[in-house]
Amino acid sequence: MTDDVPAAVRDGIAHAVLRALAKHGYAGLTTKKVAAASDKSEAALFYHYDTKDDLVVTFLEWAIERSTDRLTDINADDPLDELFTACEVLLGDTDDEVVRGINVAMMELLSHAPHNERFHTNLTAYERAEIETLADIIDRGINAGIFREVDSTATAAYLLMTADGTAGAVMALGMHDVDDMVRDRVFAYIESELVVEDGFED
């Protein structure tokens, strides 16, 4: 079982899975390769984890927690500033190798989700949590009179899907011009569709 693994060990293992996934992909992954990418022996890994999928799910949980924390820990002056920053976080820093690695790995695990219940459960919960966090920011903006009375969940889902798609083209294919164009459009969308002009609902 993995419940009693100390946090530092878990983080180290998540990083090792990330490195091993980037190098070998999911199907090429073995506990031996995760051990080679970590400071643990294969025997030490088996002490904590029974199967390869236990290791991958540990990575997934860590990556999801990391992304969720980055969205909920935003320091912002108001919901508009917070929503802009949240979209920046979701679109991701394309120069950050860890961010890129996580995005590409999650894309691969997503493609296995139709046949892997644990990946499916974790990734669905992740998407739902991101939508909820974004919708909560939008709701606070509506309550503060900054945003129009839009359907916050639908708007959140729309923003998240755009960010998810962009990650594919940018993190996996390096289409940086697309990244720039989409960022501009996302921010323009928030300005034109969400923000109440002059403080009045139209």
Interface residue list for its own copies (CB under 8 A): 22, 25-28, 104-105, 107-108, 110-114, 120, 123-124, 127, 131, 151, 153-155, 157-158, 160-169, 172-173, 175, 178, 181-182, 184-186, 189, 192-193
CA 28 to chain centre: 23
Closest CA to 160 of 195, 125, 186: 186
Q: How far apart are CA 191 and CA 102, in angstroms?
A: 30
Q: Which residues contact 15 (CB under 8 A, 6 or more apart)?
A: 38
Q: How far apart are CA 3 and CA 7, in angstroms?
A: 10
Nearest approach in angstroms of CB 11 to its own copies is 23
Nearest approach in angstroms of CB 34 to its own copies is 16
Q: How far apart are CA 174 and CA 91, in angstroms?
A: 13
Residue number, 84 or 189, with CB nearest to its own copies: 189
Nearest approach in angstroms of CB 162 to its own copies is 4
Region at 148 (left for phi over 0; alpha for psi -120 to 50; beta for the rest) = beta
Residue number, 76 or 181, with CB nearest to its own copies: 181
Tell the residue number behind the tokens 């969205």, with chain if given: 71
Residue number, 58 or 103, with CB nearest to its own copies: 103
Nearest approach in angstroms of CB 78 to its own copies is 23
Residue number, 5 or 157, with CB nearest to its own copies: 157
Nearest approach in angstroms of CB 73 to its own copies is 23
